[in-house]
Amino acid sequence: GAVVSQHPSWVICKSGTSVKIECRSLDFQATTMFWYRQFPKQSLMLMATSNEGSKATYEQGVEKDKFLINHASLTLSTLTVTSAHPEDSSFYICSASPREAYEQYFGPGTRLTVT
């Protein structure tokens, strides 16, 4: 139980384009989802927290207009990297927390390369 999937697992896009990453909780309802990113040789850092049906809360230093997060249902959250640049190339991972529970279950991650 408590499986979280991400799609795609890797993506290459051209500079200036936008790319969408999906995060799904497969066997539970996730009232809260989290998005993290990992730059080379650095730890995973929280980007934003989203609750179903409300706006995401972004961590300091994360541009909300660049990283659009939508949590429209209890099983799906999306992260859209708008006008991607090479410096946005990173490993993005989501996690999901079930209703009335504390644990976060992590997805496998998406590796984004912007050329």
Partner 1 sequence: KQEVTQIPAALSVPEGENLVLNCSFTDSAIYNLQWFRQDPGKGLTSLLLIQSSQREQTSGRLNASLDKSSGRSTLYIAASQPGDSATYLCAVAGGYQKVTFGIGTKLQVIP
Enumerate residues 6-25 that contact partner 1 by CB under 8 A: 6, 9
Residue 60 CB partners (closer than 8 Å, separation 6+): none
2 backbone dihedrals φ, ψ, rounded to 5°: 60, 55
- Give least dist CB 97 to partner 1, A: 6
Give the span between the Cα atoms of 109 and 8, in whole angstroms.
Answer: 9
Of residues 40 and 86, the one with the C-beta less far from partner 1: 40
Give the span between the Cα atoms of 95 and 48, in whole angstroms.
Answer: 11
Count of chain residues binding partner 1 (CB under 8 A) = 24
Enumerate residues 51-110 that contact partner 1 by CB under 8 A: 91, 93, 95, 97, 102-104, 106-109
11 backbone dihedrals φ, ψ, rounded to 5°: -150, 140
Site string for partner 1, 32-51 (x = CB under 8 A): x-x-x----xxxxxx--x--
Residues 47, 35 contacting (CB under 8 angstroms): yes
Of residues 44 and 76, the one with the C-beta less far from partner 1: 44
Binding site for partner 1 (CB under 8 A): 6, 9, 32, 34, 36, 41-46, 49, 91, 93, 95, 97, 102-104, 106-109, 111
